[in-house]
Amino acid sequence: MNTAEQYLKAIYLAQRIENGPAATGMLADMLEVSPASVNEMIGKLEDRGLVDHEKYKGATLTDEGIRRAEDALQTYCIIERFLANVLEVEDFRGEATALEAVIDDTVAERLDTIIDRRSECPDCFDADADKCEYLTVPADPAD
Amino acid sequence: MSLGQRITDDHQLARLLQIGVVLEEVVESRAHHHLDSFDAGDRDPAVEALLEDAADESAAHRDRLEALVADLNAETVPYEEINALVEAQYAQTAPEDFDDLLYDQLCNEETAYKFYDDLIEAIEASDTEFSIDRERVIGVLVEIREEEAEGVEEVTDLMEANR
């Protein structure tokens, strides 16, 4: 997943949490980058027709932006499920975030052949819990 | 894999090698499942030979990766566990015909090639001191990547021959 896709995913989740445009500060916190970096990338995504940006309100994904963000979120969900259920990694969220940038979509597709993922993915992704609502993890510290 | 990403410690290197092991286990298991799914009167010797070679090659790659993971003091997922997961999902993901099967095999080889290519690049871009010899890791991965490239060619040739 490249950097632009990680931003699209973050905007998608921030919009869900806020039920409105994604604010720069929130995106900076989610992505652990500076607000200036967020603004720069949002400008690029806007030029590519993936995001609409309104000053003082925030970023809103276009239809094409939503489609790409949903693909990215599916890939993230595959990585989380793989880490949690196959490799039994306790900190599956932290490691998924670290690995999403280094796991190619095609690799995620192969891993998906051993993952029990719902057809409605990524609608069932719980943005607040940062995991699929159906993902069950033994001794999940967040539960 | 993003070219901007580098591998920062033993833990992340071990994790990526573990993923490599699972990818090989998936290839091996799916190849066996494909072979088992053939009806007696519906066999194609060339396709069968391709799948048998792919399964053997993946098992050999897995052994080499497992040795690296063990030297990083990490464990890998046993083949039997991945085989059971493939089994559980196989009905939904099984190829419908020989064309579909060859395409599935091509995806396996291409995905593996890309994975190792990216991994080698990320290790080379990293200035981390790993607890195992970096040149040894890269040497193993380069050899495996080469065999994946040959695998892509073999599947492509067979696809061309079947047209």
Decide: helix, strand or coil at residue B84.
helix
- Among the residue ranges A40-54, B26-40, B56-70, the one predicted with the least confidence is B26-40
B4 belongs to a structural domain: no
Interface probe for B, chosen from A110, A111, A112 (most Cβ of B below 10 Å), is: A110
- List the 82-111 stretch of A: residues with Cβ below 8 A of B: 82, 86-87, 95, 98-99, 101-104, 106-107, 109-111
Q: Label residue B161 by pLDDT band (50, 70, 90).
A: confident
B38 pLDDT more than 60: yes
C-alpha count within 13 angstroms, C-beta hemisphere, residue B133: 5
Tens-place pLDDT, residues B75-89: 999 999 999 999 988
Where along chain A do its domains lie? 3-66, 67-132
- Output phi, psi for A60, to 5 deg: -130, 130
Query: Higher pLDDT residue, A140 or B31?
Result: B31
C-alpha to C-alpha distances, A69 to A48, A51, A52, A89, B101, nearest whole angstrom = 14, 11, 14, 25, 30
CATH no. for residue B83? 1.20.1260.10
Q: What is the pLDDT of residue A136?
A: 85
DSSP state of B96: S
Note the ipTM here.
Answer: 0.84
Tally A–B CB contacts below 8 A.
Answer: 73
pLDDT for position A141: 52
Residue B127 in any domain: the answer is yes
Residue B2: inside a domain = no
Assign a CATH topology to domain A3-66.
Arc Repressor Mutant, subunit A (1.10.10)
- Residue range of the domain that includes B153: 10-161
Residues A92-104: what's their mean pLDDT?
A: 87
- For the segment B28-43, the average pLDDT, to the nearest whole number, is 83
State the SS3 of chain A. Answer: CCHHHHHHHHHHHHHHHHCCCECHHHHHHHHCCCHHHHHHHHHHHHHCCCEEEECCCEEEECHHHHHHHHHHHHHHHHHHHHHHHHCCCCCHHHHHHHHHCCCCHHHHHHHHHHCCCCCCCCCCEECCCCEECCCCCCCCCCC
Cα–Cα distances (Å) from A53 to A22, A35, A73, A78, B106, in that order, read 9, 14, 21, 30, 41
- Chain mean pLDDT for chain A: 90
| Residues B17, B132 contacting (CB under 8 angstroms) | no
For chain B, give the longest Cα–Cα distance: 56
Dihedrals phi, psi of B95, to nearest 5 degrees = -65, 150
Query: What pLDDT shows up at residue A70?
Result: 95
What total number of domains does chain B contain?
A: 1
Per-residue pLDDT at B68: 96
Q: Please tell me which residue of chain B has the smallest CA distance to A82.
A: B19
Nearest to A45 by CA among A71, A10, A78, A75: A10
According to CATH, the topology of domain A67-132 is Diphtheria Toxin Repressor; domain 2 (1.10.60)
Structure confidence at residue B2 (pLDDT):
39
Residues of chain B with Cβ-Cβ distance to A84 below 8 Å are none
Closest CA relative to residue B140, chosen from B123, B155, B160, B159: B123
CA distance B163 to B159: 7
Nearest to A102 by CA among B101, B15, B43: B15
B6 Cα to chain A: minimum distance (Å): 8
Record the pTM. 0.86
Quick one: average pLDDT of A77-100?
Answer: 91
Look at residue A139 in the predicted model and tell me its pLDDT. 62
* Each residue's pLDDT tens digit, A1-48: 788 999 999 999 999 999 999 999 999 999 989 999 999 999 999 999
